[in-house]
Structure 1
Amino acid sequence: MSRRTSRGKAGKEQAAPRCTVTVCRGCCCGTAKVPGVDHAAQLATLRAELGPVAQVRAVDCLDACEQANVIVVQPSPAGRAAGGRPAWLGLVNDADATADITAWVRAGGPGIAEPPDVLDLYAFSPSRRVRRAVEE
């Protein structure tokens, strides 16, 4: 029998659990329905800036179209243990908002770091049905 170590496949070290940043790119978010936003650049920026510290994923419609563009920041396991909960951010349609989100996630995200006060302007609560579908 061989012993397993804490190393992942192909001898790579497993990374510490990270925040997950979910970017809506469905029927309204990420489309021309939200004019004046370079949606591809926003997603590319999030992936480039957060790749080492968070999982960034694009998903179909999060069913919060009135808040387009929607980004959900889910805490890492450590952040959740510290009381962090997913942060739903809507109307994220400018580079400054994306930069504020990036800085917060790089600092640890929900439960680990306090979000910049300006993110209060973007925070919203989706319906329980929508929230359950994304957070589980």
Structure 2
Amino acid sequence: MTVCRDCCCGSRTKHPEVDHDAQLDGLRAALEPVHRVRPSLCLDVCSQSNVMVVQPGSAARRRGARPVWFGLVLDDAVVGDLVAWIRSGGPGVAELPAVLELSVITPPALSGR
């Protein structure tokens, strides 16, 4: 899981009601060491902060699974739903719960690459 923590995501100025450090610590406590949780610089979807990207496992990726991007992850309930989905297999393994579909966003275009 990649957790954006740059200009907007993780910003107390933009989201003062969210304890961003506790959110990241909670994800790590719930998922590691089985699943890696890593913060990143800006993922270029600032209007949807806080952004998190769940990567499929290598076997699921070989079967065609792709990363799933989530935006507006500001609520502990959404984080809990993400953790449960990842623990059950995540992209390409477990069906995405309907409640999480509401948080799925389109990743930024990879222009110029």
TM-score of the two chains, using structure 2 as the length reference: 0.92
Q: Which runs of 5 or more residues in structure 2 are unaligned? A: none
Which of 1 and 2 has greater Rg? 1
Note if contact 2:3-2:39 (Cα within 8 Å) is conserved in structure 1: yes
TM-score of the two chains, using structure 1 as the length reference: 0.77
Distance 2:61 2:95 in 1: 13
Partner of 1:28: 8
Query: Pairwise CA RMSD of aligned residues?
Result: 1.6
Deviating 4+ runs (over 4 angstroms): none
Q: What per-residue deviation string (whole Å, max 9, x for no partner) do you get for residues 67-125 of structure 1? A: 00000001011111233210000000000000000001111110011121111110011
Q: How many residues align?
A: 112
Q: Which runs of 5 or more residues in structure 1 are unaligned? A: 1-20
Note if contact 1:79-1:109 (Cα within 8 Å) is conserved in structure 2: no
Distance 1:79 1:39 in 2: 30
Q: 1:30-69, aligned counterparts within 5 Å?
A: 30-32=10-12, 33-69=14-50
Note if contact 2:44-2:108 (Cα within 8 Å) is conserved in structure 1: no
Distance 2:59 2:85 in 1: 15
